[in-house]
Structure 1
Amino acid sequence: MEFDEVVRRRRMIRGYDPDRPIPPELVDKIVRHGLRAPSAGFSQGWSFLVLTSAEDRERFWTSTASADGDPGGWLGRMRTAPLIIVALSNKSVYLDRYAESDKGWTDRDEARWPVPYWDIDTGFAALLMHLTAVNEDLGSCFFGVPADRVQAFRTAFGVPDEFNPVGVLSVGYRGTDKRSPSLKRGHRPVDDVVHHGRWTSAAGA
């Protein structure tokens, strides 16, 4: 598939065919493409928890479910995804990397960072995996672990505290899906979001 077509077709898919597992070699390809993402200082402070077995996937949904246990709506439809990839960032890897001699921030001061690049870079990796799924005619959706369920998720899978779940990709062959009501908003006009030379309002003021 041409790259322009991948970008044009990209959207969040929340319904999957429960009877079509993803071949292991394709799972491996998706994850390996994530490793090609850029990272500050080539720190690569990310890790990916790949869940393919029914037992592991059920453990994920159970550990991240709301208090009443009812996923409801679009989240409930995503439980049929045969592949779940949890993208985790590790801040300490970046602080350690930038304390090395070629960077020289020996104090490991987090205040030096204008934004949390450990999370941004992990998001880049997730996007590459998401686009790889689209290129392979798969559906995929990126979503977050609820803040109040992060510790339960860590406990369920033995994830160390220094790893932060930035987001989750559900992946599978497309099944019955509903268009998100959010799509009715449409894309914002280019002139509203792109500014050349200096910041301007949509009216050009």
Structure 2
Amino acid sequence: MEFADVVRRRRMVRDYDPDRPVPPEVLERLLEHAIRAPSAGFSQGWAFLVLESAEERSRFWTATTGDGPRDPWLVRMSRAPLLVVPLSSKAAYLDRYAEPDKGWTDRDEARWPVPYWDVDTGMAALLMLLTAVDEGLGACFFGVPAERVDAFRAAFGVPDTHRPVGCVSVGYPGAADRRSPSLRRGRRSVEEVVHRGRW
């Protein structure tokens, strides 16, 4: 598929065929492409928790949503045969920029105008989304609710050094997949969002 087609076709898929697993070689390509994302100072402060088994996925949904009744969105999303949780490590960046070639002598977080550990991990997630499209699969990036992060950590033994920046669900689109009602708002044009030379 041409790159321009991959970009045009990329959308968030919210329902999956539970009977069609993601082929192992596709999972490997998703992960290999993710680690090609840019990272400040080549810090590469990311990690990826891969959840493939029904038990692992069920544990994820229980940890991140609780045991209450499931709404239709959750029912459709929970059919995804693969979940990949991209995690960022702030310490990896603070340590890297305290090395001699970077010119800083300490790990002062105040020097960072934005949390590049999260930005770079988000870019890795985007590469997974694009790879899924190129492989003929659907994918969706969604957040882990802040109040459920501790339960997520406990369920999977994730250390405090790593923070989930979200989750990527992957699989073949299901019969109930439909476009988000949010899309009715329309995509903003280049002219609306680009400021050339001055705001």
What is the Cα deviation at residue 162 of structure 1? 1.2
Taking the TM superposition and a 5 Å limit, the aligned residue runs for 1:35-54 are 35-54=35-54
Give 1:195's aligned residue.
195
Letter in 1 for 2:27: V
Q: In structure 1, what is the Cα distance between the partners aligned to 2:188 and 2:106?
A: 42
Does residue 27 in structure 1 map to residue 18 in structure 2? Answer: no
Which runs of structure 2 are paired with 1:61-140 in the superposition (5 Å)? 61-66=61-66, 69-140=68-139
Q: What's the counterpart of residue 154 of structure 1? A: 153
In 1, distance between residues paired with 2:186 and 2:173? 22
In structure 1, C-alpha distance between the alignment counterparts of 2:115 and 2:34, rounded to whole Å: 19
- The alignment partner of 1:21 has SS state of coil
Once residues 189 and 120 of structure 2 are traced to their aligned partners in structure 1, the CA distance between those partners, rounded to angstroms, is 27
Q: Alignment identity in percent? A: 71
User: For the aligned residues, what is the CA RMSD?
Assistant: 0.9
- Distance in structure 1 (CA, Å) of the matches to 2:38 and 2:189: 28
Within 2, Cα distance between the matches of 1:122 and 1:136?
A: 21
**1: CA distance, partners of 2:40 / 2:88:** 13
Could you tell me how far 1:23 is from its partner in structure 2?
1.1
Q: Render the CA deviation track for 1:124-154: whole Å, top value 9, x for unaligned.
A: 0000011000000100000000000000000
Q: Which residue of 2 aligns with 1:60?
A: 60
CA distance in 2: counterparts of 1:172 and 1:55, whole angstroms: 17
Shift of 1:74: 1.7
Q: SS of the counterpart of 2:88?
A: strand
How far apart are residue 76 of structure 1 and its match?
A: 2.2
> Quick one: distance in 1 between partners of 2:138 and 2:73?
14
Unpaired runs of at least 5, structure 1: 200-205
Greater alpha carbon shift after TM alignment, 124-133 vs 57-66: 57-66
State the shift of 1:88 in Å: 0.3
Cα drift, residue 106 of structure 1: 1.6
Shift of 1:192: 1.3
Question: How far is 1:69 from its partner?
Answer: 2.0
Match of 2:180 in 1: 180
Give 1:73 deviation, angstroms.
2.6
CA positional deviation for 1:48:
0.2
Structure 2 Cα separation of the partners of residues 23 and 107 of structure 1: 44
Give the TM-score of the pair, scaled to structure 2: 0.97
TM-score by length of 1: 0.94
